[in-house]
Structure 1
Amino acid sequence: MLAPSPEPFHYLLEGSRQTSFIYNVSIGELVYVSAAYEQLFPGHRREDASADLPHLLSYLPADDQAYARQCFAELAHGQLHDDLLLRVQPRPDQPPRWLCVRAHRGATPEGQVLLAGTVDDVTVEQEYIRNADKYMAKKNTTLEILSHDLAGPFNMLQQLAEFIGEKTQALNDPQVEKLIRVMQDTCRDSVNLIRDFVDGEFMESASVELKRARVELVLALRQIMETYQQGEHLVAKRFSLRAAQPKVFVEIDHNKFLQVINNLMSNAIKFTREGGHIVVSVEQQAQHVLVAVADDGIGIPAELLPVLFDRFTKARRPGLRGEKTTGLGMHLIQTLVRLHGGTIWVESEENRGTTFYIQLPNSAVQPAE
């Protein structure tokens, strides 16, 4: 039998739309749950909430059940301080819902460990965030493709202007020379404007605090790679995704980590010739998740590798189409990877290609094999 809620908060808890609870870890029972529990789980009575707990766990997708158990175990030991987001789907014919569990650890005078907190249905907010993340990643990927596609004609026009300038040099016509300079400056400024717009968004992201969540990385990478594959004809490159496991979970800032991948993809496009191949791979290892972005492009000279991640690095080079670089891209990539608790390194050989490796902590419970 559940104990009544303590005064003077009884009416506050009972009248709230939030589901409030107190769970006694020491005896493994719910000792209080508010009336909103019955709205959160229609068909369940709060008097039976403690007995319902094993059944409620089955509402979580199989991939999330071990993760939920781990999080509650950490919470019981005072090791989890973030909100816990869980997907629930009571019936297959119902859409999944998102629940946010906020709890803190306490103890009774007798030394029994308690977890007290609230459960909210945050489905609307989470669907909005996940759709926004999805379309933000697609937008950034599309911008990368378009930036290379649009820069190509301007670079070609600039080269044609240089060629015309050489052929008409003997005319010594100041007006012709001025027109050619205008063409060259316009093309160069247009290319720089396109690249500055894309780089600006990436640079701003490094100064913002991370908002981590449990992300299915294979799915997230597949979504952006499909966009690159749809744009293969625009950049004259081939793109592939290779996943060692069908699902890999990591705790990352979805938008910022995919910006890292997009920036590495942009770098690969710049230094890979037409017809080249760019591959993104992901693998769940014993202690880490390994992500790699590999190309068969022109590679990086050995003397530049030690300074590649330096701020305003001397390793910056124009792309094969003359794309400019600020020297900040790799430094910001490294910064964002480190903020995720990860490491990044590069292996490259001239005229053979380049591979960037990112190792992320294996902080999220993985699905059973």
Structure 2
Amino acid sequence: MLNQTEILHHVVQGSPILLFAYSVSAREVLFVNEAYERIFPQSRRDTATADLPALLRCLPPEDQQYALGCLTDLANGELQDDLLLRMQLEPNVPLRWLCVRAHRAVASDGQVLLCGSVQDVTVDHEYTRNADKFMAKKNTTLEILSHDLAGPFNMLQQMAGFFQEKTQDLHDPQLEKMVQVMQDTCRDSINLIREFVDSEFAESASVQLKRARVDLAASIRQVMDTYQQSEHLVNKRFSFSSTPDKVYIELDNNKFLQVMNNLLSNAIKFTGEGGHIAVTVVQHPQHVLVTVADDGIGIPEKLQPVLYDRFTKARRPGLRGEKTTGLGMSIIQALVRLHGGGIWCESQENAGTTFFIQLPTEAPRPISS
């Protein structure tokens, strides 16, 4: 009969996932299984402690301090989500993505341990990254199409109203019915387009955040590229800048890009033909500041205090008659707050509006009891 220790030995050694135990007190790797040499082919199990500095140098510079900070927090007793790290073991070799899961433990002799696993998740990460990329592009394209398609329908609705006015004296029931059908069809089509886009956004508020460390500047730049390629469709100019060029932060990328799309959609609705919409990202020591600025018609001062209320009295149709539910800004505020951030605006009538979003550089982590 096999004992539990022998069974556990076979399970651990046969695992494709790297399992480890590290003594924080002794600064020594106490155990790694055979998967260590499969994930790090240039290393050996018996040199795992000595390998650590070299492995750390295989991380991109912006990831090194992040990884050390997270592991230090964990060693001090703070709970930690999965740690996703990029690693390049050799020059000119594609980056690999490693998922580190660890927990703090105290051994019977009082040593503080970090125990957990390391798994190569490159394939899964690339799949998710591509899915996120196309999701963001889909949402951006929907916003652009909603404005592009609503424009002709608005024009046809106005023309139908003109025809109705000019043909009243004819007293032709069939003609009056046809003109009314034109007006109703245009109105319903505009509402249908906007309701479809709004429902996509509204659903996001009820979904739990899935945080990951992302380059926020790169994500927003990708969205802005799509808007810039479609400037001729909405007759607006778009610009983007980031300081520095790469800004890493922990957030739910899909949800935050939905926030950005909704703010950009509002800017388009209330900015006249040929107007300018600018997005900036600025890294500060403890937070990241994102701004969305337009030179549109602005928000009346009396409406600004109720801007984030559900079904707010501040809701207004767009310059081309675009419908609004009054829910958009309340959902935006809810999603920003879920990220531990804040949102506010500065606006002046006929001089444009700027929205500011402040996000903490690192997501707040609960402390273990």
Shift of 1:7: 5.4
Q: Give, in whole Å, the separation in 1 of the partners of 2:121 and 2:284.
A: 33
Aligned to 2:177: 178
Aligned to 1:148: 147
Aligned to 1:289: 288
Shift of 1:318: 0.3
Kept in 2, the 8 Å contact 1:24–1:115? The answer is yes
Q: TM-score, normalised by structure 2?
A: 0.96
Aligned to 1:309: 308
CA displacement 1:92-123 (0-9 Å, x = unmatched): 22111111111111111221101111111111
Q: Give, in whole Å, the separation in 2 of the partners of 1:75 and 1:101.
A: 12
Shift of 1:245: 1.4
CA displacement 1:41-95 (0-9 Å, x = unmatched): 1121111111100000111111111111111111111213211111111112211
Secondary structure, counterpart of 2:206 in structure 1: coil
Kept in 2, the 8 Å contact 1:243–1:283? The answer is yes
**1:71 to 2:41 alignment:** no
Shift of 1:210: 0.1
Aligned to 1:159: 158
Aligned to 1:3: none
Aligned to 1:367: none
Q: Give, in whole Å, the separation in 2 of the partners of 1:44 and 1:111.
A: 29
Q: Give, in whole Å, the separation in 1 of the partners of 2:252 and 2:220.
A: 13
Kept in 1, the 8 Å contact 2:160–2:179? The answer is yes
The correspondence of residues 194-205 of structure 1 with structure 2, limited to 5 A, is: 194-205=193-204
CA displacement 1:306-354 (0-9 Å, x = unmatched): 1010000011000001000001000000010010010001111000000
Secondary structure, counterpart of 2:84 in structure 1: strand
Aligned to 1:278: 277
Aligned to 1:213: 212
Secondary structure, counterpart of 1:346 in structure 2: strand
Query: Which amino acid is 1:154 matched to?
Result: F
Query: Which amino acid is 1:330 matched to?
Result: M
Secondary structure, counterpart of 1:9 in structure 2: helix
Query: Which amino acid is 2:24 matched to?
Result: V
Shift of 1:269: 0.2
Aligned to 2:250: 251
Query: Which amino acid is 1:320 matched to?
Result: L
Aligned to 2:49: 50
Kept in 1, the 8 Å contact 2:210–2:252? The answer is yes
The correspondence of residues 50-129 of structure 1 with structure 2, limited to 5 A, is: 50-129=49-128
Segments of structure 2 that go 5 or more residues without pairing to the other structure are 364-369
Aligned to 2:132: 133
Shift of 1:8: 5.1
Shift of 1:295: 0.2
Runs of 4+ in 1 over 4 A off after TM superposition: none
Q: Give, in whole Å, the separation in 2 of the partners of 1:303 and 1:282.
A: 29
Q: Give, in whole Å, the separation in 1 of the partners of 2:229 and 2:298.
A: 25
Query: Which amino acid is 2:341 matched to?
Result: G
Q: Give, in whole Å, the separation in 2 of the partners of 1:183 and 1:37.
A: 69
Shift of 1:175: 1.1
Q: Give, in whole Å, the separation in 2 of the partners of 1:195 and 1:261.
A: 17
Secondary structure, counterpart of 2:97 in structure 1: strand
Counting matched residue pairs gives 360
Secondary structure, counterpart of 1:50 in structure 2: helix
Q: Give, in whole Å, the separation in 2 of the partners of 1:100 and 1:362.
A: 20
CA displacement 1:293-312 (0-9 Å, x = unmatched): 00000011111101010000
Q: Determine what percentage of the aligned residue pairs are the same residue.
A: 68
Q: TM-score, normalised by structure 1?
A: 0.96
Q: Give, in whole Å, the separation in 2 of the partners of 1:60 and 1:238.
A: 38
Kept in 2, the 8 Å contact 1:71–1:80? The answer is no
Q: Give, in whole Å, the separation in 2 of the partners of 1:132 and 1:16.
A: 29
Q: Give, in whole Å, the separation in 2 of the partners of 1:169 and 1:117.
A: 79
Q: Give, in whole Å, the separation in 1 of the partners of 2:6 and 2:20.
A: 15
Deviates more, 1:34-43 or 1:71-80: 71-80
Q: Give, in whole Å, the separation in 2 of the partners of 1:355 and 1:175.
A: 50
Aligned to 2:367: none
Secondary structure, counterpart of 2:129 in structure 1: helix
Q: Give, in whole Å, the separation in 1 of the partners of 2:268 and 2:76.
A: 48
CA displacement 1:264-307 (0-9 Å, x = unmatched): 00000000000000000111123211101000000111111010
Kept in 2, the 8 Å contact 1:348–1:354? The answer is yes
Q: Give, in whole Å, the separation in 2 of the partners of 1:109 and 1:7.
A: 22
Q: Give, in whole Å, the separation in 1 of the partners of 2:101 and 2:285.
A: 30
Query: Which amino acid is 1:102 matched to?
Result: R
The correspondence of residues 318-357 of structure 1 with structure 2, limited to 5 A, is: 318-357=317-356
Query: Which amino acid is 2:134 matched to?
Result: Y
Q: Give, in whole Å, the separation in 2 of the partners of 1:69 and 1:63.
A: 11
**1:227 to 2:226 alignment:** yes
Query: Which amino acid is 1:88 matched to?
Result: M
Q: Give, in whole Å, the separation in 1 of the partners of 2:12 and 2:283.
A: 43
Deviates more, 1:103-112 or 1:349-358: 103-112
Query: Which amino acid is 1:283 matched to?
Result: V
Secondary structure, counterpart of 1:206 in structure 2: helix
Q: Give, in whole Å, the separation in 2 of the partners of 1:278 and 1:149.
A: 17
Q: Give, in whole Å, the separation in 2 of the partners of 1:116 and 1:96.
A: 25
Query: Which amino acid is 1:71 matched to?
Result: C
Secondary structure, counterpart of 2:267 in structure 1: helix
